[in-house]
Structures are given as C-alpha cells and as structure tokens.
Structure 1
Amino acid sequence: MSWTDRTVMITGATAGFGTAIARRFAALGARLVLCGRRADRLAALAAELAPAPVHAAPLDVRDRAAIAAFVAALPPAFAAIDLLVNNAGLALGLDRADRADPDDWDTMIDTNLRGLVQVTRAVLPGMVARDRGHIVNIGSVAGSHPYPGGNVYGATKAAVAQFSYNLQADLVATRLRVTNIEPGLCGGSEFSQVRFHGDEGRAAQVYAGTEPLTAEDIAETVVWAASQPPHVNIGRIELTPICQAPGGLVVHRRV
C-alpha cells in the first residue's frame, strides 16, 4: 500500500505516541493533519517533518465546537481523511477512588472518551460518503486489566474498547475499518509525568528496572494495522513489553 496519496489525521500529535506516529507516516510520504493543544510544538513538528505535506493547527479535543470548526476548515488537499488516529489522551493521579481528585476524573473523561468520540463523529461522515477510511483508537491494557488507582482512567479505556467494537458493528455495511490498539507499560513519553502532575522522580519509578515499550513501537503497530489489505480489519491489538503480564485478581486477607 502506498501512503503518498493518503491523508492521516493524528490527535495529540505534540508529544509521545502522536509525535512518533506522525514521524512514521511522514517517512512513508502521507499527507498529515496534526493537532494538539500546544501551538509551538505543532509548529516545530511541522518544520521537522518538512518537506512532508503537513496541515497543523491547535485543537483541544474537549471542545466539540472547536472540533467541528477544525474539520470544516481543513484545506481541500487535506480534507479527505483516510486514517484517523485518535491518540489524544492522558492519565491523572493514582489515588484510590475515595481519595481521587474529581477534577482529574473530569479531565480524563472529557479527553479520553468525549474527545475521542466527538472527533470520530466529525470525521466519520466524510469517510462513509467516500466508502473508505480507517479509525485507529489508542486504548490501553488498563481497559481490560484493572489495577489499584486505575479507576476512571481504566474506565475510559474500557469505553474506548467498546466504542471501537460498536463502530465496527455500525460500519459493517461499509468498507471502513476500526482498530483499537491497547499498549501496556510504555516509556519515552510524558504519560507518567502528566499522571503525577510533573513529579519526575515518581514518574521515573514507574519504569525502574524495566525495558518498557517505546512510542516508536506504538507507531509501528499503527502503521502495520493500517497497512493491511483493504478487506482485512485488525479489530484489537494488545501489546506489552516482555517484563509485563496480567497479575491476577487482587485479594486482601484480614488477619
């Protein structure tokens, strides 16, 4: 499959997975629609990827009106999205549910779930009208495997998984594809720094003694799923580093 005549839209392109995915598709010659909240990083990334064709503009996926305006304002050369990568997302906090910050919960729900479904809704009609397109959602193993402190973050990623399955059901009479990619422990991004509100020491402890996945591993997985023959849909991919495995149910024993 050649990507030189295809347009890829990536949310949350200003760091981590999003930046790595943008670099990977730029190397393949795709046209890129890049968005994120930090305009300076978007401009720097667009300059780095030159001469790849890039349309980059700020977007906060928590703002439904802004999403609609962003998609409506796409230049003609970038307006027909072939691949949407719903990457924007974050985790905040690792406190037990009764101690968690409700503002953190709202931010995760608004970004990881509301933002993802609203961006999808804005792009989807064009894909259906053209009868081609692929939606790749970046989920998490936290949507399948609970852990203490994961509460609302895990719930949003479980919802992303179910939304992905339901999209497949809705679109079964079309030639559109939907993939949910669920990474496990992954370093080389701002994920843990954001989760712990900038506490670099606590963030570093997450990866101590491990060889985690990298953002480039996730980018390669997205490219692989999106490069399958048009009749093949890769519905779900769970990937973890070899140092990570499901740990079973939590049991607390009273003495």
Structure 2
Amino acid sequence: MTPVAIITGASSGIGAATARRLASEGFHVIAAARRADRLTDLVKEITAAGGTATAVPCDITSDESVANLAATVRDLSDPVTLLVNNAGGARGMDPVERGSVADWRWMYEVNVLGTLRVTQALLPELEASGTGTVIVLSSTAGLIAYEGGGGYVAAKHGQTALAETLRLELCGRPVRVVEIDPGLVKTEEFGLVRFGGDAEKAGAAYRGVPNPLVAEDVADCIAWCATRPHHVNVDRLVVRPLAQAAQHKVHRIG
C-alpha cells in the first residue's frame, strides 16, 4: 500500500516543492490549493517523473471546501499518514498603530484557522493509519517579534501555539506533531502577496543576501521529518540560511 500525504498550499512555492519531494519519497500526494490549473500542471509533472498525485482544489478558509477535501481522502484505499499544513501567508508591514484589521483578520484566518480546519477534518484518517504525522509550517516569526510584522507575528505565534497544544493533546495516540519554522526563504509569491504585488518591495528583503533559502530547502526539511521512524518526533525544526543568524541579524553584500 502507498502512504498518502496531503499538502495544502501546493500550487506554488514551498507547497509545490514539497509535493514533488514527497512524491519522490514514495508518497501518493494529495495536492490541495485554490488554483486548480496550477495543481493540474503539478500533478502532470509529478506523474511524468514517475510519482503519483491527485489534485484537489481547496480553500482552507472555507468549511465546505475543507469538508470536500476530507471526503476525497476518505474514499482512498491507501492509508493517510501525513498532513503538511503549508498554506499561509502575510499581508502588509504596517506598524501596529496603523495596522489593517482586514489584513490581520486574513492572516489569522489563513495561518491559524486554516490549519485548525484541515487538521480537524483529517485527524481521524491520520489516527486510523496508526502512523500519522501532522506537520505545521509556521515561521521564525512564530518565535520572535519584529517591527512591522505584528499581524503576521501574531498569526504565526498562534499557529505555533496550536502545534504545541495539539502535541500535548495527542500524547499516547499514534499521531506525531512536527513544527517547522523557516527564516528567510526566497519564493516567487510570498513577498508579492505581502506587498500587494509590488515587486520592488517584495525583493528588498532578499537584496544582497547570499544564498537565501529556497522552497526546495524547506521541502527537504519536511521530507526528513516525515520519513523518520514513527517513534521519533521532531518537535520543532528551525531553519535559516547561513546569512541569517537571527531575525534581525542578516549578512548582506553589495
């Protein structure tokens, strides 16, 4: 039987890279995201490389959409052993005193409540497999605050708290909970979403940084955690590029 891995936010960036990597590790990948056309292309790519995958359009902010994802998974004959809560995002860099309530609400909805919805919906299948793993892709922003990041920091702290609490509550049951916290990762969309499509602002965070992390680096971390023997639980993995010693300490050149 082929183990099944569900990945949210699989249409681009870390999610797409994780789908490719887990397929190469022998998982049947359920690629979930809002953009069905991108998912279709991803599944074709994985299949052409010898892997197996299924595209399931899903909006993690919608109860109905998440219920449809869970129903699709329940129809599978293979065991569901892995959930990667990757979908998330940031909007804006305003200080708290001028922060947009709408942006803060969106970030909490996507990062925290989206993770909650999907985890609740799929936990029965993960537990039934006897070797379930929930991976929560949070951020170093979930561990320390920084100026201009209030809404995103608050959401990621919430996501981190969710992961820690879930691990306590599942103690004694056959489901691991892994939190992965990347630092500076250069992907094609994260900054563009954060700055409303402004490519200049989106690129500023990476300017002069030698070898920032890329999506494949984080996918490698996800795959490593997911493929440890099931009695090994990597509670938290913090990963940054060599150039980033801490949230505020980044080496830049040029």
Please report the TM-score for the alignment, with normalisation by the length of structure 1: 0.91
Shift of 1:131: 2.8
Q: Name the SS of the counterpart of 1:113 in structure 2.
A: helix
Report the Cα distance in structure 2 between the residues aligned to 1:61 and 1:77, rounded to whole angstroms: 20
The 3-state SS of whatever aligns with 1:84 is strand
Q: Matched residue of 2:73: which SS?
A: coil
Aligned residue for 1:245, secondary structure, equals strand
Letter in 2 for 1:137: V
The structural deviation recorded for 1:78 is: 6.1
**Residue matched to 2:26:** 29
Q: Who is 1:230 aligned against? A: 230
Taking only aligned residues, the RMSD between alpha carbons, in angstroms, comes to 1.6
Q: 2:80 is paired with a residue of what secondary structure? A: coil
Q: Is the 1:189–1:215 contact (alpha carbons within 8 Å) kept by the matching residues of 2? A: no
- In structure 2, the CA distance between the partners of 1:40 and 1:111, relative to structure 1 (3 Å rule), is same
Work out whether 1:148 is the aligned partner of 2:144.
no
Question: Aligned partners of 1:164, 1:29: CA distance in 2, in Å?
Answer: 26
Contact 1:164 1:179 in 2 (8 A): yes
Aligned to 1:39: 36
Distance 1:26 1:247 in 2: 32
Following superposition of structure 1 onto structure 2, how do residues 191-206 of structure 1 map, counting pairs within 5 Å? 191-206=190-205
1:184-231 CA distance string (max 9 Å, x none): 001033111110011001111110010211101100000111111111
Counterparts of 1:111 and 1:134, CA distance in 2: 21
Aligned twin of 1:117: 116
What secondary structure sits across from 1:82 in the alignment? strand
1:1-255 map, 5 Å = 5-50=2-47, 51-74=50-73, 76-77=75-76, 80-210=79-209, 211-246=211-246
CA–CA distance in 2 between the matches of 1:95 and 1:78? 48
Percent of residue pairs identical: 37
Change in CA separation of 1:184 and 1:78 when aligned onto 2, cut-off 3 Å: farther
- SS across alignment from 1:35: strand
Q: TM-score, normalised by structure 2?
A: 0.92
The structure richer in strand per residue is 2
> 1 CA distance for matches of 2:181 and 2:247?
17
| Displacement after TM superposition at 1:102 (Å) | 1.7
Q: CA deviation at 1:179?
A: 0.4
Would you say how many aligned residue pairs link Structure 1 and Structure 2?
245
Q: Which runs of 5+ in 2 are unaligned?
A: 249-254
